[in-house]
Structure 1
Amino acid sequence: MKVYPLVRYRDCAAAVDFLTAAFGFETHEVSKNDEGVVDHAELRAGDDIIMLGQGVPGGPGVYVAVADADAHHDRARAAGARITMELTDQPYGSREYAAADPEDNFWFFGTYRP
């Protein structure tokens, strides 16, 4: 498994501009939706990646790359995890889902590896 921090922003494009200018992160990838809005970005911090997502900020989350998202999803559900996004095939090739733990921390699991 590989773990990536994930932060959500109301304006992901503005966040990319700020984080690169203020903290020196380097843009690794920026994805736009059909309306041209940046809905996902990856910033490089040395050899590490920080992922940004468009959405209502609710505290940071963690993205974990797994080999088999379906099996991982089934295990999480069986253990009582609250699934907040069902398994989805993403346009960038990942199969992923999201869940909240008992303290409402957000966890995202999928096959994507930046």
Structure 2
Amino acid sequence: MTSTTLHTYFSYTDAPAALRWLERAFGFETTIEAADDKGGIMHAELRRGDIAIIVFSDDAGRDRIEVKGETVGHGTYVGVASEGEVDAVFADAVKEGATPIWKPEATKWGNYRCRVLDLEGYEWTFGIYRPGLTGEEVQDQG
């Protein structure tokens, strides 16, 4: 039997600096870091709890999407264990230069979340809600 997993990847203009920033701001741990021949990152993997992301250098100079309202239109959601963890991630990220979009707040559907943009404009939301739960499972969490 096989299982399906989902992992996201990010290309950064200064990927080596982004790795260090993601460690400080969000609590990731770099587990693989392979340099390219230009001083950038060919492939890096970072972990935080049970999740893993991939980072590499943006050699093409991709355009960054502007924030419209409260979003760039897509982002990464990280489920964490507690409201205290949401608060701590938000404080660390803002201290490290992230742009705050949503301060930690409760939602009508039982989430407690925050949203920031990292130094290169990627959107990150941290919250206690676990997408994919049934309505009954969500009620059991609360």
Normalising TM by the smaller chain, what interval?
0.3 to 0.5
TM-score by length of 1: 0.47
Which structure exhibits the higher relative contact order, with contacts defined as CA atoms closer than 8 Å and separated by 6 or more residues?
1
Higher strand share: 1
Q: TM-score, normalised by structure 2?
A: 0.38
User: Greater Rg, structure 1 or structure 2?
Assistant: 2
